[in-house]
Amino acid sequence: MNKNEITICVVLGGTSPERAVSKQSGKSLYNAVKKLGYNVRIVDPAYGLNQPQNIEDYFAECDCGILSNENYINAVNSSLFDNVDLVLIALHGKWGEDGTIQSLFELKGIKYTGSGVLGSSLTMDKARSKVMFTHFGVSTPKWIEAKKNISIEELDKQITENLNYPCIIKPNDQGSTLGLTKCNSKNELADAFELASQFSNTILIEEFIEGREISVGIIHDKIFTSS
């Protein structure tokens, strides 16, 4: 089969707080796939059936219509994905990386990139992921979980007894460092916790480990340049 006979759909945007980041990722994927010579289609599930008419509108800073989670179902259950051979998921955060859109594609029998429903759901929940890391002997910073209704005094007590300062405070189920704070003392705790609480009902508090973060991509036996 020739490349021009293969249709690839880039799914971007979405309704999570990381919508803007997703647009940037989607634009890069769209340009790369187009350059490779495949047929390319774009869908922003947050728009549902009312997709933008111009390609550049998908990447624009402003939005072109009403966004909603319900629109995801309408989009996937429509003709927008007819004759699509593969979906490249460029969605970020909730509804895009947490198994939600993956489950819709599974139900429709649409092939997509990335982890499946269970893997996506588990890894989006940072605390559950860390439980798995610990179970299988993979090193991970010490942590505690907290709900939004915990008092600052109680949270400070747990941090002091289990982690100490400085520590990292962030939403349990977001990405792109949204709502993340390096908290150096109890004096900064209330503001850090309030910020993280804007993005999730569950807050993750981790011990701070100073150093450089390095990511290495591996596909099968091929190791890609670290960053």
Domain that holds residue 48: 3-123
201-224 pLDDT, tens digit per residue, is 999 999 999 998 888 888 888 998
Q: What's the CA gap between 149 and 165, in Å, rounded?
A: 21
Residues 131, 112 within the same domain: no
Q: Which of 104, 123, 142 is the last residue of a domain?
A: 123
* Maximal C-alpha separation, the chain: 64
Q: What's the CA gap between 190 and 155, in Å, rounded?
A: 10
| pLDDT, averaged across the chain | 93
Higher pLDDT, 224 or 176: 224
0.85 surpassed by pTM: no
3-state secondary structure at position 190: helix
**The pLDDT value given to residue 220:** 86
* Residue 18 amino acid letter: E
**The pLDDT value given to residue 227:** 60
Residues 115, 160 within the same domain: no
36: alpha, beta or left? (left if phi > 0; alpha if psi -120 to 50): alpha
Residues 152, 67 within the same domain: no
**The pLDDT value given to residue 3:** 83
Q: Which of 2-6, 131-135, 145-149, 150-154 has the lowest mean pLDDT?
A: 2-6
In a domain, 216, yes or no: no
In a domain, 112, yes or no: yes
CATH of the domain at 183: 3.30.1490.20
Q: Under a CB-based contact definition with an 8 Å cutoff, are residues 76 and 105 in contact? A: yes
Q: Under a CB-based contact definition with an 8 Å cutoff, are residues 148 and 201 in contact? A: yes
What average pLDDT score do residues 10-19 get?
94
In a domain, 226, yes or no: no
In the DSSP assignment, the letter for residue 91 is -
**The pLDDT value given to residue 176:** 67
**The pLDDT value given to residue 225:** 75
Tally the domains of the chain.
Answer: 2
CATH of the domain at 70: 3.40.50.20
Residues 100, 136 within the same domain: no
